[in-house]
Amino acid sequence: MAHKNFLFTSESVSEGHPDKVCDQISDAVLDAFLANDVKLGISDDSAVNTRLGCETLATTNKIVIAGEGRGQAPFFRKHGDKVVVDREYITQIARDVVKDIGYDQDGFSYYGADVEVLLHGQSPDIAMGVDAKKKKSGEEEGAGDQGMMFGFACTESEVYEKNSFMPAPIYFAHKILKSLADKRHSKALPDLQPDAKSQVTVRYVDGKPVGCTKVVVSTQHNERSRNGKKYTPAMVKDMIEQTVTQALPKGWMPEKSSDFLVNPTGNFVIGGPDGDCGLTGRKIIVDTYGGYAPHGGGAFSGKDPTKVDRSAAYAARYLAKNVVAAGLAERCTIQVAYAIGVADPMSLLVDTHGTGKVDEKKLEKILPQLFRLTPTNIRRTLKLNKPIYRRTAAYGHFGRAPEKDGGFSWEKIDLAAQLKSAFK
């Protein structure tokens, strides 16, 4: 952002958005594979640990799960010369996700949807690229694919949300929808349905976020209220306004009622996959920084942590966040790039956008020394071979608090002290 005074807009989508339904199913399947590895005592660097690239499509009462992978029974088993998948087991995972989200509608139901499972065994060519070096010479595994990944962090939200280190527009767009979902699940707002979107336009003065000029929320709802009255957009607006206001910092809600738009096209009764087809990996900007920072193009959900689309994006965020938390910059973007089958990255770039207090070239030398950017080290240090992924598939992969079981480990700032020491 070169300007000091500007408007910036980001959007979020709820857990019931069609694309997010698919992301959560893909990541729930991944979690089940990884939990099975843990149960069987399969180590992170075992020759038989999980590999998975799982894609999901959802439409009116139809869920299709496709992709490739490897794993142990009950997921994959030998059938003659072929590796086959247990379709019933994976079908139940999908139904459980849809039930948890809250879909029990005529056009999309956890029990009524037809689930088709088309997963198959991993290509031996891909497996060779990832595993071959480790098997032959004891070297670390190669990257699961080529590509470039970005991580970003900034200080602008810290005055409102400690240790988030996120751009304000996407952070609060997520928070609005998460607050509404929590009240839907708790029955505090029982007439809301799962599908929803938010959009927040933030005004910046001297480069700092000071409030919202526009807030848009489109949320699925029951056709009629509990007393039988047919909902209008004005009624839905009255129902959710307090929750939206409380999700924002004090004084951030637009002063004009006309600048808070709710269901601007009219009623929103038919939603979710019944209203619009969903696909895994179609909300990559929502998943990351809301367009405020670059994105490499690779989606996250359904991919095991040997896929650098996911793990290296987490590592880049981890490093960028620790640079900012250490006080070495107010904003930091990190780019890392890989070639399939090669462990060490092809390149590393650190950009502090003119806010850095140290030499960026020195950061580029020191960061890989403190945290090796090989897929193996990323997995082991951030403990990514755990069933921690479904929770990432809605409301953003970044800006979340680290959890005791290892979830959101890339949000820790435990490298900040070492970075400070390195630049004394």
Reported as a single tens digit per residue, the pLDDT across 235-252 is 999 999 999 999 999 999
398 in a domain, yes or no? yes
Q: Does one domain contain both 260 and 319? A: no
Half-sphere exposure of 52 (CA within 13 A, CB side): 33
What pLDDT score does 360 carry?
Answer: 96
Find the CATH number of the domain harbouring 312: 3.30.300.10
Domain span including residue 214: 6-13+167-271
Token pair for 195: 């599908």
Per this entry, what is the length of the chain? 424
DSSP string, 158-181: TTTSTT----HHHHHHHHHHHHHH
User: Please, are residues 322 and 413 in contact by the beta-carbon 8 Å criterion?
Assistant: yes
Confidence bin at 71 (pLDDT 50/70/90) = confident
Among 54, 120, 107, smallest CA distance to 302 is for 54
Residues 32 and 104 in one domain: yes
65 and 105: one domain? yes
pLDDT in tens, 295-349: 998 999 999 999 999 999 999 999 999 999 999 999 999 999 999 889 999 999 9
Q: Is residue 283 part of a domain?
A: no
Asked whether 363 and 398 are in contact (CB, 8 A), the reply is no
On whether residue 331 sits in a domain, the answer given is yes
Beta-strand runs (E) in 98-181: 114-121, 147-154
Q: Please indicate, yes or no, if residue 223 is contained in any of the structural domains.
A: yes
Q: Looking at the structure, do residues 267 and 308 belong to the same domain, yes or no?
A: no
pLDDT of residue 135: 47
Mean pLDDT score, 415-423: 94
Same domain, 186 and 117: no
- The answer to whether residues 255 and 304 belong to one domain is no
**Residues 28 and 118 occupy one common structural domain:** yes
Q: How far apart are CA 325 and CA 73, in angstroms?
A: 43
Share of the chain above pLDDT 70, in %: 93
Instruction: Tell me the sheet residues that pair with 205.
Output: 208
Predicted pLDDT at 101: 98
> Do 51 and 111 fall into the same domain?
yes
Per-chain mean pLDDT for the chain = 92
3-class SS of residue 336 = strand
> What DSSP state is assigned to residue 109?
B
Query: Could you tell me where the DSSP H helices lie in 261-307?
Result: 272-275, 284-287
Which residues lie below 8 Å from residue 376, measured CB to CB, with a gap of 6+? 45, 140, 141, 343
Is the pLDDT confidence value at 164 over 80?
Answer: yes
pLDDT at 120: 87
295 domain residue, yes or no: no
Per-residue model confidence (pLDDT) at position 337: 97
Asked whether the predicted pLDDT for residue 424 surpasses 90, the reply is no
Residue 342 and residue 379 in one domain = yes
Q: What was the pLDDT predicted at 130?
A: 59
53 and 111 within one domain = yes
Last residue of a domain, one of 255, 271, 287: 271
Domains: count for the chain = 3
Cα atoms found within 13 Å of the Cα of residue 183, Cβ hemisphere only: 18
- Does 281 map to a domain? no
Q: Give dist(CA 48, CA 51) in Å, integer.
A: 9
Is 289 inside any structural domain? no
Q: Which residue has the tokens 């409380």?
A: 246
64 contacts 56 by C-beta, under 8 angstroms: yes
* 25/129 same-domain check: yes
Residues 412 and 334: their CA atoms lie apart, in Å, by 17
Cis bond leading into 74, ω under 30°? yes
Same domain, 174 and 255: yes
- 159 in a structural domain: no
Q: Is 225 left (phi over 0), alpha (psi -120 to 50) or beta?
A: beta
Looking at 225, 253, 271, which one is the last position of a domain? 271
Report the C-alpha gap between 149 and 382 in whole angstroms: 17
User: Contact, 195 vs 12, CB < 8 A?
Assistant: no
List phi, psi (to 5°) of 90: -75, -35
**Residue written as tokens 């930091």?**
332
